[in-house]
Structure 1
């Protein structure tokens, strides 16, 4: 997934679930894991979740770490590292990149 697709995903979730607030840590997490994910499968999962649940989806609801959702180049171990890794990017960097100014 590209950064633009990730932002579309988060905007979709936030627009459907009014109690969901996109925090900086969430954006940075998705930016870090996004390149390894299949966009169509993630959006399919979020659409399915929206139809079924009145609560916002968790990461585990949208990503299957067993390997079905991950791109072939990403092993399970690498997915776990990306999932549990530390956030090294500054929050202001992504805000500057995607601000409407």
Structure 2
């Protein structure tokens, strides 16, 4: 994704979830990892999320890495903190 695509994503999220105003840290995080993400897949995940949830999505719900990035492991470790624990 490009930075322009990240901005487009946040504008769309804010239109659908008007009470969701992302913190600057969230936007900065997306900018840090945007080159690794596949825009088409992220938008598809957002559309799927919007159909089933009245709440704004988390990064982990939208993130889809491009097959060429090959850097999924650099983010996976911190994502584990926010995923439901197995067996819980």
State the TM-score bracket (shorter-chain normalisation).
0.7 to 0.9
Residue 34 of structure 1 pairs with residue 29 of structure 2: no
Gaps of 5+ in 2: 80-88
The residue that corresponds to 1:58 in the other structure is: 58
Structure 1: which 4+ aligned runs deviate by more than 3 Å?
A: none
TM-score using structure 1 length: 0.69
Distance of 1:60 and 1:42 partners within structure 2: 10
The residue that corresponds to 2:18 in the other structure is: 18
Distance of 2:55 and 2:39 partners within structure 1: 22
Distance of 1:75 and 1:3 partners within structure 2: 18
Question: What value does the CA root-mean-square deviation take over the aligned residues?
Answer: 1.8
Distance of 1:73 and 1:18 partners within structure 2: 32
TM-score using structure 2 length: 0.78
- Number of residue equivalences: 78
Gaps of 5+ in 1: 64-68, 85-101
The residue that corresponds to 1:78 in the other structure is: 74
